[in-house]
């Protein structure tokens, strides 16, 4: 779907037109409670296992399911999104001493340094070059861990345009991330097509500094 010239315009239009057609969440069927039960259980385990106290959740979407995750182990949660209206709505509804929201473009904006950068169902909607730039940007944040959607059984990464969707495997070309150190199996069925191996891989961000895509070179 291309309804504007920039990422902000495209994803703002998707939000305002309810493009992903979920009756529960403007962020789409993947953000419904029935699709996130195993993830809501697994995240607090990851927090404790890796001593994660601060989280950047980008894109956070409408916070439909994440607000039900046990965050008692966290000191700070930052939900970020490129869509201004989402950030404003979330801030009004959910901000507290631990939870806050910011408008951030994962590809271009400076990211806060946190223990965990969490990017569920983000890169599947970006072009390959945008994904590479986002990974570079995450590495520059000097955060500790990176948790992201990856399709571990997907052998070839096709390209796409902003706002569209395709499965990606972050261990395959052109991304070539090293093996993840942990994995959350979610196996969400998207658009009626089952892509086996849908889950979230966890990487140490320090290990991304040595990738062949030249992480630290400015654009």
Mean pLDDT on 161-180:
89
Is 167 strand, coil or helix?
A: coil
In this predicted structure, what is the pLDDT of residue 219?
41
CA 149 to chain centre: 7
Residue with tokens 């779907």: 1
| Nearest one of 161, 84, 85, 168 to 119, comparing CA atoms | 168
Q: What's the rounded Cα separation, in Å, for the pair 165 and 124?
A: 5
Q: What's the rounded Cα separation, in Å, for the pair 18 and 77?
A: 26
CA 57 to chain centre: 7
Write out pLDDT tens, residues 37-80: 889 999 999 999 999 999 999 999 999 999 999 999 999 999 99
Q: Which helix (H) or strand (E) element contains residue 204? A: strand 198-204
Residue with tokens 């340094």: 113
Write out pLDDT tens, residues 11-25: 677 676 655 555 556
Residue with tokens 């944040």: 141
Question: What residue spans define the domains of the chain?
Answer: 34-210
In this predicted structure, what is the pLDDT of residue 215?
43
Task: Show the tokens assigned to 205.
Answer: 């961000």
Residues 6+ apart with CB under 8 A from 134: 106, 107, 119, 122, 123, 126
Structural contact between residues 188 and 203, judged by C-beta atoms closer than 8 angstroms: no
Q: What percent of the chain clears pLDDT 70, i.e. is strictly above it?
A: 78
CATH for 34-210 is: 3.40.50.150
The upper half-sphere exposure of residue 216, i.e. CA atoms within 13 Å in the direction of its Cβ, equals 7
Q: What is the pTM of this model?
A: 0.86
């Amino acid at each position: 779907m291309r309804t504007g010239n920039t990422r902000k315009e495209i994803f703002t239009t998707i939000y305002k037109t309810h493009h992903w057609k979920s009756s529960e969440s403007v962020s789409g069927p993947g953000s419904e409670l029935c699709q996130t039960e195993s993830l809501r259980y697994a995240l607090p385990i990851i927090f404790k296992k890796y001593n994660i106290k601060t989280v950047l959740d980008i894109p956070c979407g409408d916070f439909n399911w994440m607000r039900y995750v046990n965050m008692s182990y966290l000191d700070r949660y930052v939900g970020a999104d490129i869509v201004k209206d989402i950030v404003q709505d979330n801030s009004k509804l959910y901000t507290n001493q631990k939870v806050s929201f910011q408008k951030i473009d994962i590809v271009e904006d400076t990211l806060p340094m946190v223990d965990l950068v969490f990017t569920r169902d983000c890169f599947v909607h970006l072009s390959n070059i945008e994904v590479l730039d986002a990974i570079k940007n995450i590495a520059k944040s000097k955060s500790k861990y990176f948790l992201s959607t990856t399709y571990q059984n997907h052998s070839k990464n096709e390209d796409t345009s902003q706002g569209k969707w395709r499965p990606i495997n972050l261990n395959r070309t052109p991304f070539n991330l090293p093996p993840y150190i942990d994995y959350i199996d979610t196996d969400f069925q998207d658009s009626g097509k089952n892509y086996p191996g849908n889950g979230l891989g966890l990487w140490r961000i320090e290990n991304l500094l040595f990738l062949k895509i030249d992480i630290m070179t400015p654009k």
